[in-house]
Amino acid sequence: MAKNLIGLDIGTAGIRAVEVSDAARAKPTLVRYQEMELPPGMVNRGEVVEPNSVANAIKRLWSSGGFSSKDVVLGVGNHRVLARDYSVARMSPRRIRESLPFQVQDMIPVPVSEALLDFYPHSESVGENGQPMVNGLLIAAVKEAVMTNIKAVQLAGLNPVGVELIPFALSRVHLRGEAAAGTTAVVDIGANTTTVVISTSGVPQFVRIIPTGSDDMTQTLKSRLDVDLNAAERAKRTLGLAPGGYQVSDEHAVTVIYEVANELLTSLRNTIMYFSNTRPNQPLKQLIITGGGSELAGFGKALSETLRVPVFAGDPFGSFTVARRAKGESGARASVALGLALGSAA
């Protein structure tokens, strides 16, 4: 009997783990999902700052969640991870990866000795001299940023069996079956990072990681309204982009929320326009939003009006059988961990 697969997502605001069985089937089973909030400062933009404290939190998560294994797949995807278009002469995947340290130094902001490099192919073409080429995405992550997360997981007594780029996990979980047809953007809005992955026929073509998220709005509300963090978070969740109107007393808060939301909307518009301008033969069919920040009231409608494409709330649980003990959980926050679990089956 195949072992269940577990994805572990370590975010700035919390940690989440998903256990999946029958991952190779058309409709796998979501066996367990558990999440736990983290106090501010333990994780900064997805990078563990206090390994021992995070390890203790992971131990509590494992105990309360009742997970059946200690083997986990981790995600990486913050401001210290780069994804860029890259083409190379056609050769085996092993040889391409071996050649990266000698070919890409000018494309990354750190010495190759301090980076973890990978290549994700998505198509083939013919070069100017008639040479067969492989096109794809160059992935470069600062080694230190990845190793601190691995250290926390190991201190918790778990065994990290793999590390994967978060955008790939998002694409995998949201673009299954018929949903993979055409070109779709998946946007995950986390606490400090917004991840954009655009895929055609389910194959990632473009990745951008925007170093802003929903916590920027909370912090701005805290500062501008002169309230504590809990009150700022409550105002954000209650008012959102005020799709149903608001009281006069809330006008200042709504103005701040709109101001910060517009900055993110502008970044997303510029990102999507860049993709559309460089790939006119891959028109965007739709956009799927997920992550805790996507739950801001009115944000999906505002994004659709900005981009002029249909925007839908992601439902990662929609293509899964959900065990009774996992029902009632938030799919928006579970997306990354669920995609990581599926990836470990590959």
Q: Is 52 in a helix, a strand, or coil?
A: helix
- 326-344 in b/e form (b: 16+ CB < 10 A) is beebebbbbbbbbbbbbbb
Q: Average pLDDT, stretch 256-278?
A: 96
Residue found by looking up tokens 């900055």 in the block = 263
**String of b and e for 45-83 (b: at least 16 CB within 10 Å)?**
bbbbebbebbbebbeebbeebebeeebbbbbbbbbbbbb
Query: Distance from CA of residue 142 to its chain's centroid?
Result: 17
3-class DSSP state of 295? helix
Burial class of residue 214 (count of CB atoms within 10 Å of its CB; 0-12, 13-18, 19+): buried
Q: In what order do the strands lie in the sheet with 71-76?
A: 159-165, 71-76, 5-10, 14-21, 29-37, 321-322
Q: Where does the pLDDT of residue 327 fall: very low under 50, low under 70, confident under 90, or very high at 90 and above?
A: low
Measured CA to CA, the distance from residue 128 to residue 63 in angstroms comes to 57
**Residue 335 and residue 290 in contact, taking contact as beta carbons nearer than 8 Å:** yes
| Closest alpha carbon to 296 in 204, 200, 216 | 216
Beta bridge partners of 45: none
Nearest Cα neighbor of 176 from 342, 344, 346 is 342
Query: Helices H, strands E: what count in the chain?
Result: 9, 16
331 is a domain residue: no
Average pLDDT over residues 200-206: 94
pLDDT tens by residue, 272-311: 999 999 999 999 999 999 998 999 999 999 999 999 999 9
Q: Is 16 part of a structural domain of the chain? A: no
Q: Are strands 183-189 and 311-313 parallel, antiparallel or unpaired?
A: unpaired
Please indicate, yes or no, if residue 265 is contained in any of the structural domains. no
Q: What is the pLDDT of residue 333?
A: 83
Give me the CATH number covering residue 106: 3.30.1490.300
User: Does the pLDDT at position 260 exceed 80?
Assistant: yes
Give the domain extent around 105: 81-142
Residue 8's nearest CA partner among 150, 123, 145 is: 150
Q: Report yes or no on 216 lying in a domain.
A: no
**Res. 332: pLDDT tops 90:** no
Task: Report yes or no on 99 lying in a domain.
Answer: yes
Does residue 113 form part of some domain?
yes
Average pLDDT over all residues of the chain: 92
Tally of structural domains, the chain: 1
pLDDT digit string, tens, across residues 234-246: 999 999 998 888 9
Cα R_g (the chain), whole angstroms: 20
